[in-house]
Structure 1
Amino acid sequence: MGQVYIIFVMIAAAAMSTRSAITRTVTANKSAFVSLSSTRLVSTTRTTTARAFSSWYQNNLSTSRPTTMAKRPTSFITQRRTFFTEMMRMISGSSEDENAETPESIMESFLEKTQNKDTVGNDVMEAMFALYEADAVCFDVDSTVINEEGIDVLAEFLGKGEEVAALTAAAMDGGMKFQDALAQRLDLLKPSRKQILDCLEKNPLLLTDGITKLISTLQSKNVDVYLVSGGFRIMIEPVAKILNINPSTHVIANTIVFDNDDDTGLYKGFDTAEPTSKDMGKPKAIQQILDNRFYNNGIVMIGDGATDAQAKPPATAFIGFGGVVVREAVKNSADWFVTNFDDMTTIIEMRKTIKK
């Protein structure tokens, strides 16, 4: 244990120093780090690499970071990224010529060796770190948690599928203001409470492959999970319950207003006070969460739509999801864009359980 502690201290000290010092320390301690991960770095799997890095990170940099995310200096982020870059350089067997490669090219080399060639994004490394660290993760629901758009399912049930689907696509692609698309779709449907409940009974919303495992893994690490959606609470609450998410405290969604509270209630409108009822609603919803809870290590947004991409800031990172539908505008704006939940689950599995 003494040798391991010394190695951790040396690497931690280097991480708070210059890039050249980091490179020297990582290089000098490569064999010791290999023994920690129980494998050769140049031929390691992603899982083993993540486990080794997780051990170092939790024992060192995570304990020396500033106490609030908002007060993190740029130098802290730079030092963290620099260490990760040097670690990836060693793992991928890349050249140590500092002028030869950028962090992006090193990551590409690493991803190629780990057979994850499809990984794309504007800041993949930082998004991975943000997910690894996060105290809370927010998921969009339609075409992310479930493999369809809830309002389109309802529209199809009511015989108005094509008209509503066109408005949904325009809203999700950013082609029209969300509040306008929401109002137009509901005006077309005017669904009663009974119609919605009948639709859900006959057409239960289907979860996207892998989402149950990802969310349960997050919950096992005591990461708070929220559903933040422009869809309707009456349709989302059953999904939340399946995923062991408290609908009262961890779901932010639109509320359809009926003329009475029983099953005979007729459509009257929707609650415009809900943050997700309008454009730029996702960042407002996340800020609302942050105002009520102190998340020292940040909050990540995951979703498929343009409204989800708007969530950063205040979200620490935005991870675009294209497993149901790929929206080019979202793909181009995401810090990290994925088409399944597997890599995110792997990252979460490597972290230690948060003590609440």
Structure 2
Amino acid sequence: TTHNPIEGRHKRLSGGLFKDMMDLMHEYGYCEKRASVRDFYSRFDPIMLRCILDRMVKEENINILFHAIVNKVETEQTADNRKQMNVVYAQTKAGTILFKPKIVIDSTGDADVVFHADGKVFMGREEDNLVQPATLMFRMGNLGLFAPKRRGIARRVLEEKKNGNKLTPRDDCLMFMGRTPKERHFNQTRVAGYDFTDPFELTEAELDGREQAERFIQFLRKKVPGYKNSIVLNMGTQIGIRETRRIEGEYILNEEDIINVKIFKDRIALGNYPIDIHDPKGSAKTIIKRIPKGKWYSIPFRSLIPINFDNCLVAGRPISSTHIAHSAIRIMPICSTIGHAAGVAAGIKLKRFKNTAFKDIEIKQVQKILREQGAILD
């Protein structure tokens, strides 16, 4: 998204590598600087973010391989009846490549590595496995002087619905100001009822998303003041997916942990983004449960560890959580801080705990280095 939900309005919660990234974005003119910690959003250029991330990775001499998808994992049984990932296969246009890793960090977004290693995963809601709908984002530019704000467009959306013209499953308008006065960012499409890990259904979902987006764009141009001469600046190359698989880990983060702002001893990240559930059945309904003002919850390291695996961590939205808890921790800043922690833990395991399972390494050492690198855990 072009708007980046950082954290609460009274305390910065996403530090470390995430802050380094945002500072670089600002340094190169790709991101506005927040006026204060009370500002909830930082608007940034989503296209140039790729260049900044490329630079950060290359400066650390990390080997990069795009266009490769994990499709097979070989494991072996350990002495205590657990699993070790020994070989990871990835499919490319040139054929299959195999890796023999000492450590695996699954940051695929869909827990692909754990899934192909026959690890335990969940999909969607506990009662019916339905996942939150996906969204194809788009940005509009060259707006006229009198382009209405969000509520003005929302009123027209409802008028269209009353006249029998339902533009998208949403009954309102989720629009954000862009980085320039003549730019707007739309989170308007709602694509539900698909399994986004199935390639055939994912294809249909992307077609559905583009149809919804085009329909709404035509509505803007024809019926909303200020949009007659607007242009499409950008549309998601792929549909934006909120939820697919989640692992079963050493601890399953739950709704009570979020609402009761639980602070774990083995915490590796903080957040206070609310529980935010877009209806998996695709209606306009969204459930929001906000975190108490001035409070924050934590993410335990145990939720990054797939149950029964010794040398694997999961980073990002597929960590071990319930469907409800997942809706709060799936956003970019929290996923980024989780990834930072996974990287630090992997480095510590390689240097100091080579023959120790991730569940048994000393978490205080991980937390110490995270704090030294600017992560916020308190």
TM-score, shorter chain, exceeding 0.5? no
TM range (shorter): under 0.3
- Tell me which protein shows more helix as a share of its residues: 1
TM-score under structure 1 length normalisation: 0.23
- Tell me which protein shows more strand as a share of its residues: 2
Structure with max Cα Rg: 1
